[in-house]
Structure 1
Amino acid sequence: MCLASFLKFLKFKLRRKRIVDKVASIKDDNHLEGNDSIKSAARRYTWNQMQKYTMNFSSVIGYGGFSTVYLAQYPDSTTGAVKIHSQSDRLNQAFKQELEILLHLEHDNIVKLLGYCDDQDEGFLILEYAPNGNLQEKLHCVGKSTGRKTTVLPWKRRMAIAFQLALAIEYLHEKCALQIVHGDIKSSNILLDEQLNCKLCDFGSAKMGFSSTVLPQSSHGKNRMMLGSPGYTDPHYFRTGLASKKNDVYSYGVVVLELITGMEAFSAHSGERLTRKLDPMLRDAEKVVEIVDPHLRGEFVLEEAKVMTSLSAMCLSDSPSLRPSASDILRTMRNGIPSFSFLFRGKA
């Protein structure tokens, strides 16, 4: 029996190594040409081609921390978003990492990689275009002059986005070949398509190929590069530098709070985090009605708000071991919010 268990473990380790080696080798042109699934999912473009399709990079549709996103129009009239990283050794590595990861992902709620170019120092990714911008804009730019038409996001759609985001995280953590920690889940990294469906994006900070926790190579000192964004970063990660799936769960809890309250995760003006501001109210079911986004004008389901607030509180637990997994989150939503069970069809 012991021998059988050992052989099973050895087989698992060898399979794991083959997967990791496969991902590590995607920069090899011959490998890309020989893999039909990758070749069909993402095409390699030249810099000159993208200059043509973007009209010489004339239409900026977004900015990341270290990247600019341009609108591209293809000869067949389809539209794409071209993400160009800034020049630096570290950011070039982030580009390569994001490319490696996106080439191996396929999920309805994760942004699709349509193509890429790696023949310039900057490098670029061609992603599916999300015409409704991102969740941060939808939640926090209502009534503001932003150049993009914004309306109040209905309660049912907020719940759908919360569910779809949990599906994307479950896929990354548990269902793709390489278990992936996104590392920077936030409302501005949740794109919205024509039907306002969630499309999780920006994998430049992701960690892949492990299942529990990883200590960074430089685990102490000022030179340690931290993941995440203000208001969303797991305090436990801040303290220890340990990257784990539960970092993403914490960030998910913050996004859920944004969906419920319409408040920003971090106030640049006051420096206050939403989690700190609402902490006294998260575990008091009677106070939930007080924190729901007033822009909804009462058009929400109180019991659903209570379930989601309680779920957010669990995700934000100080101890990572007490936080739910992505599968636990989905189970809670399925069991606690039957009124939008239509979202769950085919999403087992």
Structure 2
Amino acid sequence: MVLVVIVCCLKRKLAYDSFIFFWKNQGQDRQIVEAFLRSYGPLQVRRYSYLEVKKMTNSFKEKLGKGGYGSVYKGKSNDGSLVAVKVLSKLKGNGEEFMNEVAAISRTSHVNIVSLLGFCFEGSEKALIYEFMPNGSLEKFIFDANSPNRDHDHHLGWEQLDQISLGIARGLEYLHRGCNARILHFDIKPHNILLDENFTPKVSDFGLAKICNMKESIVSMACARGTAGYIAPEVFCRNFGAVSHKSDVYSYGMMLSEMVGGRRNINAEAEDTSEIYFPHWIYKRIELDEELGLPSIMNEEDKVRARKMIIVSLWCIQTDPSNRPAMKEVIDMLEGSVDCLQIPPKPYLSSPPKSAVGSSTATLVSTQ
């Protein structure tokens, strides 16, 4: 009986200590974020109270989407303009994602970068207020395009895909070279590209971004960050080279490949094993100068645009970072003639090993 009493007391003590530790950590995280907001200086975006956010979203009535970070709701600001409110479910990495988002986007002003209009940080409540993008993310226009039950409004023609790929490239080139600090995004993928009413693409979600000095060409990181299937090989294994702005170029190339194929790059359900990894399958067709075999190509102009996007994507996903073009060169290639483009060496990697997105990097790796 004495032993049972001692065990029960110990369990209650441990539970109490864990409770205190949790709230102590939460308090420390909030102090870190508040200190950041004070030290960062006057921000270009407004700070809202939680009541204002609740009123803005009509008590979070209309949900636009959900992810590992939390949920996004449709709202309306005081001036009547529509906004998208991202409500963060919890702080990750001492609030690193929240601070990254506020710090990175508040430095930017570009037609191809989403605008952060405000934020809320009040106790445990955290939210980010963005301009509303009526056409949502690029993801649904790529991966839903070939669905038998798809909405015809989800179809993007090659001219539109070409313009979207060029807009994303311009946004990334601005982040790498155009603003007062170099911003590396580290999570470029279709889900994080938003489209306005005119289908102008805007790079969004800077939760994994790193802000560097313009003179810095190489970035040090404690662990991998990004989304499996888009992560550059050097990000999860330093043997492939140094992490730099070329890591964003790789992610852009993988996304561009999916825009061309209208499918995810890795399709384990493909009947033909040669079609499982799309970049390898399409490379072979380009190399042998065969028909591209893309069902959405309707005429010669479509064929030229598709071929150009394929070649650019293959240059971007080169295993060696030094062989990849900078985003300025990507823009030049997309704007130039396809006849001037050389076929790159065959890219050898398909996707990072599952261990790259294991529990040790859970705070920095997006799983959407």
**Residues 170 and 327 in structure 1, CA contact (< 8 A), matched pair in contact too:** yes
Partner of 2:251: 251
Q: TM-score, normalised by structure 2?
A: 0.73
Aligned to 2:292, the other structure's residue is in SS state helix
Q: Does 1:155 align with 2:148?
A: no
Aligned-pair distance for 1:309? 1.4
Change (3 A) 1:172 1:184: same
Mapped partners of 1:180, 1:154: distance in 2 = 31
RCO (CA 8 Å, sep 6+): is it higher in 1 or 2? Answer: 2
Partner of 2:358: none
Partner of 1:287: 290
Equivalences for 1:62-211 in 2 at 5 Å?
62-90=65-93, 92-142=95-145, 144=147, 150-210=153-213, 211=216
Partner of 1:215: 220
Equivalences for 1:188-337 in 2 at 5 Å?
188-210=191-213, 211-216=216-221, 218=222, 224=223, 226-240=224-238, 242-267=242-267, 274=277, 277-278=280-281, 280-281=283-284, 283-284=286-287, 286-287=289-290, 289-290=292-293, 292=294, 294-298=295-299, 300-336=301-337
RMSD: 2.9
**Residues 254 and 275 in structure 1, CA contact (< 8 A), matched pair in contact too:** no
Aligned to 1:324, the other structure's residue is in SS state coil
Mapped partners of 2:319, 2:243: distance in 1 = 15
Aligned-pair distance for 1:142? 3.0
The superposition leaves residues 161-213 of structure 1 with CA deviations (integer Å, 9 ceiling, x where unpaired) of 01001100100111111101100000110000001110110000111114322
**Residues 117 and 124 in structure 1, CA contact (< 8 A), matched pair in contact too:** yes
Change (3 A) 1:279 1:152: closer
Unaligned runs of 5+ in 2: 1-33, 340-368
**Residues 92 and 123 in structure 1, CA contact (< 8 A), matched pair in contact too:** no
**Residues 166 and 331 in structure 2, CA contact (< 8 A), matched pair in contact too:** yes
Partner of 2:17: none
Q: TM-score, normalised by structure 1?
A: 0.77
Mapped partners of 2:136, 2:87: distance in 1 = 17
Equivalent AA in structure 2 for residue 177 of structure 1: N
Identical counterparts, % of pairs: 30
Mapped partners of 1:323, 1:282: distance in 2 = 21
Mapped partners of 1:330, 1:89: distance in 2 = 35
Mapped partners of 2:228, 2:278: distance in 1 = 11
Mapped partners of 1:172, 1:269: distance in 2 = 36
Unaligned runs of 5+ in 1: 1-23, 33-37, 219-223, 339-348
Aligned-pair distance for 1:231? 1.5
Change (3 A) 1:71 1:152: same
Mapped partners of 1:164, 1:74: distance in 2 = 27
**Residues 101 and 205 in structure 2, CA contact (< 8 A), matched pair in contact too:** yes
Partner of 1:4: none
Aligned to 2:290, the other structure's residue is in SS state helix
Mapped partners of 1:126, 1:147: distance in 2 = 30
Larger Rg: 2
